[in-house]
Structure 1
Amino acid sequence: MKFIVDDKIPYIQGALEPFGEVIYLPGSKTTADVVRDADAIVTRTRTICNEKLLKGSSVKFIATATIGFDHIDTNYCAEAGIQWTNAPGCNSKSVEQYVASTLFVLAEKHQFKLEGKTIGVVGVGQVGSKVARFCETIGMKVLLNDPPRARAEGPGKFVSLTEIQEKADFISIHVPLNMDGEDATYHLADERFFNHLPQKSFVINSCRGEVVESSAAKQALKNSKIKGLVLDCWENEPNLDPELLDACELATPHIAGYSKDGKANGTSMSVQAISRFFGLGVDNWTCPNIELPERTKITLDGFSSTDEEIIAKAILSTYDIRNDDVALRRHPADFEILRGDYPVRREFPIFTIEAENMQKSAIEKLKQIGFQIKSKE
């Protein structure tokens, strides 16, 4: 058997070698000639898996170690008899961490409290659900918008996008990229969207770049239709619009889901799917030896601090979005390098908080977020 694997997928080396030849290549180097005699491709969003790549090949299975799969031409794969899989929810906790850091950085910069503020979560899948739950934990009012779920489950807990536009202080977008149809999300945030934001919300996009229309976003910022824009995903990336980059409140190189935990989950799910499809017998394979950050213990003294202040310190101790923002602004041309060489980031459960002088309410919230808690003697 022959496997073509994106060389930026972590922890996968050694997993497939017992079963055949494994070729590791950059996503941009995965061409039709390369995959012609391959049995499977393990990829990320940078490889467009369509007829141009796959026609005439022996590829039987594609595994993308990502939540999104808009880089896979699913219609062509169906016609060609090629099976495929993605990794739904693999990095959902990582994106939750990203949004949490974003909210606390904005609150610090603009000197307001998050408690009592309203956030609209657009797209309430595995990622959006975790973002919503986090925001509820810290005392925010949460509005949910997800038309497919509303149709399937009833409208009870969902609201219209219009209601979110009218009421939300923050709008966080977590939708797949659908180019057309009833649930089209291409340019969901267009000129009309930005012009109907009476609250002048902060808008956060950490799903797909094409969901936000760049020209409309720039105009909205220029005309103060919104308070600020936070972009992790960009139209035409890695070729960023420098004017939009300069105008953003916070800007990062498509790394919201780039915790080591999220990457490891995507890798494990891909290997397991390949094992099931080809009958390799490693259906429960998981990534070994995930790197740890320099420290996994956080000492927090809650004396005279509010719950929100304590949680902010905890969140920003695990991940501070400002570091990624600075790195991208310094070297926007290094977009792909910043992604490919992304430093170690781990999710909340890997961290233990040594708590001192802390109210039970704060401890309970930290536990709900996922931290381990150890009270100092």
Structure 2
Amino acid sequence: MTRICVTDAIPEPSIARLRASGHEVIVHDGPQPPDRAELLTLVEGADAVLTVLSDRVDAEFLEAAGPRLKVVANIAAGHDNIDLAACAARGVVATNTPGVLFDATADLAFGLLLAVTRRLGEGERLIRAGRPWRYRTTFLLGHSIEGKTIGLIGAGQIGTAMARRCRAFRMSIAYAAEHPMREPARTELDAVGMPLDELVASCDVISLHCPLTEGTRHILDAGRIATMRPGAYVINTARGACIDEHALAQALASGRLAGAALDVYENEPEIDPALLGLENVVLAPHLGSANVETRTAMCDLAAENALAVLAGRPAPNALRP
């Protein structure tokens, strides 16, 4: 019987769909995700594996799975956890789940923007700590986003969805010309493209929505952070390694930047300790696509990709090296 391995818990309807296809389905359903040794054992003899972005799919993984493996279906839009060249060399199809999570991720990014500019995290921590407070006209003053300019590093589906939310709050939209916004959204949003360095230096908010590649690793590095406008904000719902976290923490601690709101981290789930002690930082545990409807759609699409390959059909979302 053809064997499908699912490396972590997914919604039951997606599992039922896989089982209804007549394949054997093995799901890791422990209280914690599998560690590396458990993962390599789990995938032994698999014909298809549904992976999550914390699973490193490399030569070791492919060797552990063995010669029957035909498809790795990643439950994520990103695929920086997959060695596409290694998959191609073994004839393994790798797929992702684009087009179903951009609204959910943009919702979270915009929520983070409001949380950091209005100091919501600071306020909640104050109340939960039982510290005394009274309403005063100068108490925990944040900043309005209306009339400010947001600079997008990455203006694909998620970045464009974020721009639409910002535009509804009367923000001006700019994007890095190296990662452009497509028409008709560019005209609809009156979005302005500019060179990356100019964007970083001139915008009130920098929001990252780019994939992680060698070209975007530390795209917001110490040098670029040093050129940002005093009082600017950083939002990151892309990948943690797109930012030099240590340099960001230093700029936040000095007060040069007003704040940052992060959903992703360079060494996730570990977080730079320098960030943890800062009041002007909002931290979320990688919740970008974390609503029931979106995660179900992602898992369904991953299942569709896997079943297509196993049936000898082209995968709807096959990736190329």
TM (norm. structure 1) is 0.68
Q: CA deviation at 1:65?
A: 1.1
Aligned to 1:324: none
Q: Is it true that 1:51 corresponds to 2:59 in the alignment? A: yes
What residue in structure 2 maps to residue 28 of structure 1?
A: 35
Question: Which residue of 2 is the match for residue 375 of structure 1?
Answer: none
Look up the equivalent residue of 2:153 and give its one-letter code.
V
Cα displacement (A) at 1:148: 4.7
State the aligned residue count: 278
Distance 1:230 1:121 in 2: 14
- Matched to 2:205, the amino acid is F
CA contact (8 A) 1:232 1:255 kept: yes
Aligned to 1:223: 254
Provide the alpha-carbon RMSD of the alignment. 2.6
Aligned to 2:237: 206
Per the TM alignment, residue 54 of structure 1 is displaced from its structure 2 partner at its CA by 0.6
Higher RCO structure (Cα 8 Å, ≥6 apart): 2
Give 2:221's aligned residue: 190
The answer for the alignment partner of 2:131 in structure 1 is: none
Unaligned runs of 5+ in 2: 120-140, 317-321
| Contact preservation (8 Å) 2:152, 2:159 | yes
> Displacement of 1:115 after TM fit?
1.6
Q: For 1:126 and 1:35, how far apart are their aligned partners in 2?
A: 32
Q: Could you tell me how far apart the structure 2 residues matched to 1:232 and 1:212 are?
A: 12
User: How far has the Cα of 1:84 moved from its partner?
Assistant: 0.9
Distance 1:138 1:262 in 2: 25
C-alpha separation between the residues in 1 aligned to 2:174 and 2:218? 21
Tell me whether 1:232 sits opposite 2:263 in the alignment: yes
CA contact (8 A) 1:27 1:47 kept: no
Cα drift, residue 242 of structure 1: 2.3
Identity of paired residues, percent?
A: 28
**In the alignment, what sits opposite 2:289?**
257
**Which segment is superposed worse, 185-194 or 160-169?**
160-169
Contact 1:166 1:198 in 2 (8 A): yes
Conserved? CA contact 2:209–2:238, under 8 Å: yes
Distance in 2, matches of 1:224 and 1:58, equals 55
TM-score, structure 2 length as denominator?
0.79
Which structure 1 residue ranges, 4+ long, deviate > 4 Å from structure 2? 150-154
Q: 2:195 aligns with which of 141, 160, 174?
A: 160
**Secondary structure in 1 aligned to 2:115?**
helix
- For 1:189, what is the secondary structure of its paired residue? coil
- Is the aligned partner of 1:17 residue 2:22? no
Contact preservation (8 Å) 1:27, 1:46: no
